[in-house]
Amino acid sequence: MALQDEFVERIQEHRLLLNKLVFLYADQAEDRNDLRQEILLQAWRSYPNYRAEARFSTWLYRLGLNVALTMLAQAKRTQFSELTDGPPGDGNQFETDDQLQVVLRQLGPIDRTLLVMSMEGYNDVEISETLGISPGNTRTKLHRIRQKIGQLWT
């Protein structure tokens, strides 16, 4: 099977994971499309170096997370520049009243990823490998996130 065909097949198998990442880190439809395209582009560029030491989903999650965090950082720099150079914007507002979405948006990007990966059934080791933190730190962070959600959910 050609590399391109193999890549497309794997991406198709993991399209739900990709959709979850995109919806976690982008509020607007246009931003979601941009993020999806950037993740796919970076995944295609990096795919020849994929060594299968971890599951493909873990590799894609980590790559997608890095792309999302990079794009968030760029957006913050742009927002700061616009705030100092131009008229104030209306901020980041939610378009849905879905309580889970609201709670997730109140978590930081890493905490959001930790929680979603845990909800998807990834174990502490897989989460720690994806995020580059220790399994013990993963468990501690998850415990604190769950406590915080308990406070936010009410």
pLDDT at site 35: 92
pLDDT of residue 77: 54
pLDDT at 120: 78
Output the DSSP codes for 131-147.
HTS-HHHHHHHHHHHHH
Its pTM stands at 0.58
Tens-digit pLDDT string for the chain (154 aa): 788 999 999 999 999 989 988 988 888 899 899 999 999 999 999 999 998 888 899 899 989 988 888 887 766 555 444 433 444 434 333 333 366 677 777 888 888 888 888 887 888 888 888 888 899 999 999 899 888 877 776 6
Q: Measuring CA to CA, which residue among 120, 28, 116, 10 is closest to residue 71? A: 28
Long-range contacts of 89-98 (CB under 8 A, 24+ apart): 92/27, 94/27, 95/27
Backbone angles phi, psi at 133, to 5 degrees: -125, 165
pLDDT of res. 154: 60
Cβ atoms of 128 and 113 within 8 Å: the answer is no
Cα-based angle 29, 31, 107 (whole degrees, multiple of 5): 100
